[in-house]
C-alpha cells in the first residue's frame, strides 16, 4: 500500500522560477480540500474575514478576522472556511530564505511552531495589508518583476517573525547553529536512529552538551525531542493513510508492531487504532 496523504510541491509557471506565489482566498474560492494534505513549502495565510477552522498537525485553530496562520513544510493541514470568509495566502519555498541570517532561517516560528495562529491589531493588520497589496500588484504585472516580488515576500515574512517575537517573547531565543544542525539531522534520521549518543557523535560534541542545547532551545531533553518527533510522524501516517498499523510500525523502525502500540499508547493515552478512529481516518 502507499501513503495517500497528498504532498503538494512548489510549482510556478514563471520561467524565472520565483520562489513565491500569491493567491487570493475569495468568497467563491473555498481552498477547502476534502482530504488533509501537506506541502513541501511554506504557506502564510492572511484572513481578512474569518470563519471556520484550520486543522494543523491535529490541532484545530479558529479562523478569526484579521489573523495569520503559518503552515510549514511537511505539516498536515486542512482549511475549512465558512462560505463568506476571505483573505490571501502566500506560498513560498525555502529558497526565499537563502542568504538570511541563521536565526531567521531557523526561527522556531517557522518550524512546527506551537503557535501557528495569531490575531492582528488594527495597526498590524493595516501594515500587513499594505505589503500584501504591493505583492499582489507585482504578481499580476507583466512581465513579472521577480526581484520585487521576492523583496516584498521577504519583508512580509520578516514582519511576521517580528510580530511573533513580540507576541511570544518566551518562545524567542538565540538558537545556536549546532542545535539547528541537530534539528536538520534529526529530520533526516529520526526513524533510523533513536539514541542521543548517535547525534552527539555526528555533531562532534558530547551527549551532555547536546542535552543542554536541547533543553535551552526546546525545553525538552534530547531523547524527548526525538520521541516527540517520532510521535508526530506516527500521527501523520495514521491520519488519512492507507497503510495498516503494522506497516506504519515497520516504516517507523519498530521491528515489533506490539512495541509500537505500547510506545504510542504510553505517550498519547490512546492506541494507534483509537487515534485513527477518533480522527476519522
Distance, CA of 45 to CA of 263 (rounded, Å):
35
Domains of the chain: 7-171 (2.60.120.280), 177-278 (1.10.10.60)
pLDDT in tens, 219-231: 889 999 999 999 9
pLDDT band at residue 254 under the 50/70/90 scheme: very high
Give whole-number Cα distances, 249 to 26, 38, 191, 257, 260, in Å: 41, 21, 10, 5, 6
Distance, CA of 113 to CA of 129 (rounded, Å):
23
Distance, CA of 152 to CA of 170 (rounded, Å):
28
pLDDT at 191 over 90: yes
**Of 99, 101, 110, 97, which is closest to residue 44 (Cα–Cα)?**
110
Residue 197: Cβ within 10 Å count: 12
More confident residue, 143 or 193: 193
> How many helical (H) and strand (E) elements, i.e. helices and strands, does the chain have?
10, 10
**Surface-to-core class of residue 9, CB atoms within 10 Å of its CB (0-12 exposed, 13-18 middle, 19+ buried):** exposed
pLDDT band at residue 277 under the 50/70/90 scheme: confident
Q: What percent of the chain has pLDDT over 90?
A: 53
Phi-psi region of 92 (alpha: psi -120 to 50; beta: other; left: phi over 0): beta
**φ and ψ at residue 8, rounded to 5 degrees:** -90, 130
Return all residues near 199 (Cβ < 8 A) that are at least 6 apart.
182, 185, 186, 193, 210, 222
Give whole-number Cα distances, 139 to 9, 10, 147, 165, in Å: 19, 16, 11, 28
Report the sign of the C-alpha dihedral through residues 117, 121, 122, 128, in that order. Answer: negative
Mean pLDDT of 54-58: 89
Mean pLDDT of 163-183: 81
pLDDT in tens, 128-142: 999 999 999 998 888
Residue 61: beta bridge partners? 54
pLDDT at 177 over 90: no
pLDDT band at residue 6 under the 50/70/90 scheme: low
Distance, CA of 51 to CA of 162 (rounded, Å):
26
CB 5 within 8 A of CB 236: yes
CB 89 within 8 A of CB 108: no
CB 56 within 8 A of CB 116: yes
Amino acid at each position: 500500500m502507499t501513503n495517500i496523504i497528498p504532498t503538494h510541491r512548489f510549482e510556478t509557471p514563471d520561467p524565472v522560477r520565483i520562489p513565491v506565489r500569491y493567491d487570493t482566498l475569495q468568497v467563491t474560492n473555498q481552498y477547502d480540500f476534502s482530504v488533509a494534505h501537506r506541502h513541501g513549502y511554506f504557506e502564510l495565510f492572511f484572513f481578512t474575514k474569518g470563519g471556520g477552522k484550520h486543522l494543523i498537525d491535529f490541532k484545530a485553530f479558529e479562523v478569526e478576522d484579521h489573523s495569520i496562520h503559518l503552515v510549514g513544510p511537511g505539516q498536515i493541514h486542512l482549511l475549512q472556511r465558512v462560505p463568506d470568509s476571505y483573505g490571501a495566502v502566500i506560498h513560498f519555498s525555502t529558497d526565499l530564505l537563502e542568504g538570511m541570517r541563521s536565526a531567521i532561517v531557523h526561527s522556531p516560528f517557522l518550524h512546527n511552531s506551537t503557535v501557528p495562529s495569531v490575531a492582528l491589531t488594527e495597526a498590524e493588520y493595516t501594515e500587513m495589508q499594505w505589503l500584501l497589496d504591493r505583492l499582489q500588484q507585482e504578481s499580476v504585472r507583466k512581465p513579472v518583476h521577480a526581484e520585487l516580488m521576492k523583496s516584498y515576500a521577504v519583508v512580509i515574512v520578516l514582519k511576521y517573525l517580528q510580530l511573533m517575537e513580540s507576541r511570544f517573547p518566551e518562545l524567542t531565543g538565540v538558537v545556536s547553529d549546532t542545535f539547528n544542525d541537530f534539528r536538520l539531522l534529526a529530520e533526516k534520521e529520526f526513524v533510523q536512529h533513536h539514541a542521543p549518543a548517535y547525534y552527539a557523535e555526528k555533531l562532534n560534541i558530547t551527549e551532555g552538551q547536546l542535552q543542554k542545547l536541547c533543553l535551552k532551545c526546546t525545553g525538552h531533553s534530547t531523547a524527548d525531542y526525538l520521541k516527540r518527533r517520532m510521535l508526530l510522524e506516527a500521527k501523520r501516517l495514521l491520519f488519512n493513510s492507507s497503510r495498516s498499523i503494522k506497516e506504519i510500525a515497520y516504516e517507523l523502525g519498530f521491528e515489533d508492531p506490539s512495541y509500537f502500540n505500547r510506545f504510542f499508547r504510553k505517550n498519547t493515552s490512546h492506541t494507534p487504532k483509537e487515534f485513527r478512529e477518533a480522527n476519522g481516518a
